Each structure stands twice: as structure tokens, then as C-alpha cells.
Structure 1
Amino acid sequence: MTSRLRTSDEFDPLHRRLAELAPLFQDHADECDRRGGLTDEVVRALHGSGVFRIGIPRELGGYEFSPRQQLATIAQLSYWDASVAWTTMALQMVTGTTAAYLGPEAAREPYPDVARGEHALMAGQSTKPGTAIRVDGAHRISGHWQFASGIALADHLHSAARCAETGRVPVFTFPKKQATLIDNWDVLGPRATDSIDYTCEDVFGPDTHVFEATTTRAHHGGAPGAR
């Protein structure tokens, strides 16, 4: 029996690129801790390596690593710097799952040309949902979410909110500029993950930019034959 699990040929090349960045991550570790987030040099290096593409489906231009490949990549980063690893883990996971579960119309905006590095980064939380009020073709979303690791690097947020009319808890995607960030990350470690809270009030969330928190149906990517 052959496995239906996809693996990516980009795995070894990416790991070689990340290994070349190890001295940079280690040299900047203290400054990242002091800032409470990654330095600009580390952020540029991560973008350049392509590591944020590991969860994005192939058909959108991503690497679509298998779960084991993703875990191995984060483990490699953890060896050099735990905050770099955690931030990357959170961003690639939310970015990848959002790309998989948003429909084609919604995915075109944040993922215009992933192969050229042109794509949004997603952060946010699906725990402790906010509230969503139904309006024509959309919801109005409000809430306070915690522990949004890597939010400083993100362009968009994905946030769970409970629909007042139905009790469902879908996940909404909207630009980060529509939220208020709360600078409350004060911990012993890992300090440099920028895992702060955020709030939003009456944000418009169109039905095209939402997916069910419990869905297992991907619009993009996934094992062959799973859709």
C-alpha cells in the first residue's frame, strides 16, 4: 500500500538554507529577547529562506510540507533559538491553514504570488472566541484574543468568534490594521515571540473570508483525493 501523505522536495534545500542562518539567529538572540520580538535582520532572513511557505498549499505556490517535515523544520530552528522556532511555528501554521481553508475568491488577495514570496503572514487565535453578529453577507466581529504569537510580523489575523444567532464558531480573516494590539508580553521566556493580546470592535467580516473552526475540508492542498 502506498502512502497518500504528501512530502516536499523543498525540505532538504530549505534545511540547508536555515543551517546557514544559524549564526545569525544565535548572534541576535539576546537583542531579540530585549526587544520582545525578532530583529529586522532575523525577520528578513526568515522571509528570504522561504520557511514561512512550508504550510502553504502547493497549488498556491507554497512548499506544503508534510506534518513530519514541518515538525522537523521547527525542531531544527529550536536547536538554535527557541523564540525564532516558536514564532515561525505559529506564523506558518496559521498562514498555511488559512490558505488551505479559505475559498478561491478569498485566497487570491493574501496569497497573490507565493512562489515569488508575495503572500501575507497570518497570526491570531481560535481559542476563547469573540462574538459575531450576522449582517447581510457578512458578520460584525468583536472580541479580545490572547497569545497571538508572531503578530508583529503578520499582515492579517484569523480569529474565532461565536455567532450570536447560530452558536457556531467560525474563524474570520481580516487585515491586522483593523485590530488594536495590546503590548502586554512580559515573561521569562521565550521573550522574543511577541505573543501579545489584540482586540477588535465591530469589524466587518465577509462570508468569503471565513471557515468553520472544526472543518476538515480543504479548498487547497491536502492529501490526493481528500477533497
Structure 2
Amino acid sequence: MRLAPGAYDYAAVPAVLALVLLVAFPPASVVALALAFAVLAFFRDPERTPAEGVARDAAVAAADGTVSVVRTETDEDGRERVRVGVFMNVTDVHVNRAPLPGTVEAVEHVPGGHMPAFTKTAERNERLHVDVGGLNSENEYRLTQIAGTVARRCHSHVDAGDELAAGERFGHIAFSSRVDVLLPPRFDETDVLVDEGDRSVAGRTLLARDPRAASHDGDEPQ
């Protein structure tokens, strides 16, 4: 089973504790060992490949979990942008994937609090922004990993200049948290294919239909 980076570091603490408790109090040793295996299971990183044509026709989900935010907001350049947020609980896979292809332009860590990741106040939490560009400003989007009450570490696997394919891993978060996608300006809420409360699977669930692909479909002869 493939694991996200850092899995063994987190699992080492309960594993060592299990060895110590094996002498002092064997029943507790079993609990500690079970916790070590639970940590490894949490960091599981299954292989996933988006369906053929997804990179052209749609954006895919960035995270496993429950869709907690779908809204339109105004970005710093005054453009209307759609934000889709997914809350991950401790049983979800926490490896995050790129919804669309592009080039990483910047990776920025922002310090903050650790409120529950499913609340509105979580937008002031510690977070990590990954800005992805394309051939022009209509292709740019932002991925934001948001720390939660338990989640204290947002990990990026990419650096500025890296190329991302749709569905490719870009990072992971240690324990329950949230991932937001600020879609490119060409998308609006009518293009979004999920609703708040829906379940999503990173790299597999279709997040939003690309309006350019839809218009091309309409141009095809009948």
C-alpha cells in the first residue's frame, strides 16, 4: 500500500510506545499498536486515474470528503470566481489532487488559527495556497489546504514551475481538514456539478463542467 510522505514519522510514536508498554502494561501495548496501524491507514494513498477526456471536459475534485462550500465570490482583481470546498474527516483519504492541468506559479503558507475546518471561521485558519496558471488568466486557479482543529500540518508536494496534470497529487494534510478550489474565471456556478452535502473522491468526481468544452460540443454538427 502506497503511503503519503511522513506516514512512518507519525506512526513511530505509538509504535515505540507499544514496545514500552509491552513490558509495563501489555493490554495498553495492544491499543498503542492498533493506533500505529490506524495512523498508517490514515496516510494511505491509492492510485487513481481520471477518466479519459476529463482534462479537456471537466475539473475533478481535489479531495475526498463532503462538499461544504459552493459559492461565488469576488477575487482581488475584481473577477467573479466560484469556490468549492470539501471537508475531509479522519476516515477519508487525505492526499489531494489537481482539478485541472497547469503550471504551479506559487506555493504560499499562511499562518492562522485552528478552528473546526467545516465552519466559516476556518477561513482564518492556518492554510497553504497553491496557485496554478495556464496559457492565460482564464486558466488560473487556486488550491487552498486549510488546517482544522486536529490537522496541524498542510504539506505541498509541488514547487513553483512544476507541471500538474488533472488528477495528479499536489499535497496532503495530516488529519481532518478542508481543501478549497477557486476555479478559473471562465467557470460560474451553473458549471458546477456538485452540491453542498455531496460526497467527492479526489481525482475521480467531476467537480465542474468546463464551459469551453460545452460550447465546443454545441458547435458539432448534428
Q: Under a length normalisation based on structure 2, what TM-score does the superposition of the two structures give? A: 0.30
Which structure: greater strand fraction? Answer: 2
| Greater RCO (Cα-Cα under 8 Å, separation 6 or more) | 2
Q: Which has the higher helix share?
A: 1
Q: What TM-score comes out, normalization by structure 1 length?
A: 0.29
